[in-house]
Structure 1
Amino acid sequence: MKLVVLGAAESGVGAAILAGRKGYDVFVSDMGTILPHYKAMLDAEGLAWEEGKHSEEQILDADEIVKSPGIPDDAPLVSKLRTKGTPILSDIEFAARYTSSRMLCITGSNGKTTVTSLIYYILKTAGFNVALAGNIGRSFALQVAEAEQNGMPDWFVLELSSFQLDNMYDFRADIAVLLNITPDHLDRYGFVMQNYVDSKMRILRNQRADDVFIYWKEDEYISRELERLSPLSQLCPFTDAPTAGACAYGEGEAGADSYGFAAGAMLSVKTPREFSMPLSELSLPGRHNLRNCLAAAMATLSAGVDASVLRQCLSDFPGVEHRLEKVGTHCGVHYINDSKATNVDACFVALEAQTTPVVLIIGGKDKGNDYSVLHDLIRRKCRALVYLGADNSKLHEAFDRLTAKSGIFTADTHSMADCVAACKHLAQPGDTVLLSPCCASFDLFKNMEDRGEQFKHLVHLLSDCF
Structure 2
Amino acid sequence: MKIEDLKDKKIAIIGLGMEGLDILSYLKKNGLQASVFDSKTQEELGENFTKAESLGANFILGENYLSNLSNFNVIFRSPGVKILLPEIAEAEKRGVLVTSSANLFFSSCRGKIIGVTGTKGKGTTSTLIFNILKNSFNNAFIGGNVGLPMLSFLDEVKENDFVVLELSSFQLQDLKTSPHIAVVLNITSEHLDYHATRDEYIRAKQSIVCWQKKEDFTIINGDYYEPIKFSRLTPAKKYFFSRFRKLEEGAFINGENIVIKIGDAEKIICRRQDLILRGEHNLENVCAASLAAFLAGAKTESITEEVKKFKGLEHRLEFVDERNGIKYYNDSFATTPEASIAAIRSFTEPIILIVGGSKKGSDFSELGKEIFSSSVKTLILIGDTAAEIKKASEEASFKGKIIEGCKNMEEIFKNTEDSAKPGDIILLSPACASFGMFKNYKDRGNQFKSQVL
| TM-score normalized with structure 2 length | 0.91
Equivalent in the alignment of 2:427: 434
Equivalent in the alignment of 1:187: 193
How far residue 153 of structure 1 moved from its aligned partner, in angstroms, is 7.7
**CA distance, structure 2, for counterparts of residue 57 and residue 431 of structure 1:** 56
Amino acid aligned to 2:391: E
SS of equivalent to 2:152: helix
**CA distance, structure 2, for counterparts of residue 450 and residue 340 of structure 1:** 11
Equivalent in the alignment of 1:159: 166
How far residue 111 of structure 1 moved from its aligned partner, in angstroms, is 0.3
Amino acid aligned to 1:383: K
Find the partner of 2:257 among 263, 266, 276: 266
Find the partner of 2:151 among 130, 135, 141: 141
For structure 1, the 5+ residue unaligned runs are 253-264, 461-466
Equivalent in the alignment of 1:124: 134
Count how many residue pairs are aligned between Structure 1 and Structure 2.
439
Equivalent residues in 2 for 1:420-459 (5 A)? 420-459=413-452
**CA distance, structure 1, for counterparts of residue 398 and residue 17 of structure 2:** 46
How far residue 396 of structure 1 moved from its aligned partner, in angstroms, is 2.7
Whether the 8 Å contact between 2:359 and 2:384 is mirrored in structure 1 is no
Equivalent in the alignment of 1:12: 20
- Cα–Cα, structure 1 residues 414 and 37, in superposed 2: closer, same or farther, change >3 Å? closer
How far residue 306 of structure 1 moved from its aligned partner, in angstroms, is 0.8
SS of equivalent to 1:182: coil
Amino acid aligned to 2:36: V
- Cα–Cα, structure 1 residues 99 and 332, in superposed 2: closer, same or farther, change >3 Å? same
| More displaced 10-residue stretch of structure 1: 238-247 or 198-207 | 238-247
Whether the 8 Å contact between 2:33 and 2:56 is mirrored in structure 1 is no
**CA distance, structure 2, for counterparts of residue 95 and residue 39 of structure 1:** 24
Equivalent in the alignment of 2:412: 419
**CA distance, structure 2, for counterparts of residue 157 and residue 54 of structure 1:** 37
**CA distance, structure 2, for counterparts of residue 110 and residue 53 of structure 1:** 34
SS of equivalent to 2:225: coil
Equivalent residues in 2 for 1:347-362 (5 A)? 347-362=340-355
**CA distance, structure 1, for counterparts of residue 11 and residue 230 of structure 2:** 35
Equivalent in the alignment of 1:239: 242
How far residue 189 of structure 1 moved from its aligned partner, in angstroms, is 1.9
Whether the 8 Å contact between 2:38 and 2:65 is mirrored in structure 1 is no
SS of equivalent to 2:206: helix
Q: CA RMSD in A?
A: 2.1
How far residue 119 of structure 1 moved from its aligned partner, in angstroms, is 1.0
SS of equivalent to 2:19: helix
Equivalent residues in 2 for 1:304-453 (5 A)? 304-379=297-372, 380-390=374-384, 392-402=386-396, 405-412=397-404, 413-453=406-446
Whether the 8 Å contact between 1:3 and 1:19 is mirrored in structure 2 is no
- Cα–Cα, structure 1 residues 166 and 288, in superposed 2: closer, same or farther, change >3 Å? same
Deviations 1:298-342 (A, max 9, x none): 010111111111111001112100001111122221110000000
How far residue 224 of structure 1 moved from its aligned partner, in angstroms, is 3.0
Matched, 1:103 2:116: no
**CA distance, structure 2, for counterparts of residue 244 and residue 125 of structure 1:** 27
How far residue 72 of structure 1 moved from its aligned partner, in angstroms, is 1.6
Deviations 1:181-223 (A, max 9, x none): 0111122222x22211111122103211111111101112122
**CA distance, structure 2, for counterparts of residue 56 and residue 161 of structure 1:** 24
Whether the 8 Å contact between 1:181 and 1:222 is mirrored in structure 2 is yes
How far residue 58 of structure 1 moved from its aligned partner, in angstroms, is 4.9
**CA distance, structure 2, for counterparts of residue 349 and residue 161 of structure 1:** 20
Whether the 8 Å contact between 1:8 and 1:29 is mirrored in structure 2 is yes
Whether the 8 Å contact between 1:133 and 1:158 is mirrored in structure 2 is yes
| TM-score normalized with structure 1 length | 0.89
- Cα–Cα, structure 1 residues 56 and 377, in superposed 2: closer, same or farther, change >3 Å? closer
**CA distance, structure 2, for counterparts of residue 157 and residue 353 of structure 1:** 27
How far residue 456 of structure 1 moved from its aligned partner, in angstroms, is 0.6
Whether the 8 Å contact between 2:278 and 2:346 is mirrored in structure 1 is yes
Matched, 1:62 2:53: no
Whether the 8 Å contact between 1:103 and 1:157 is mirrored in structure 2 is yes
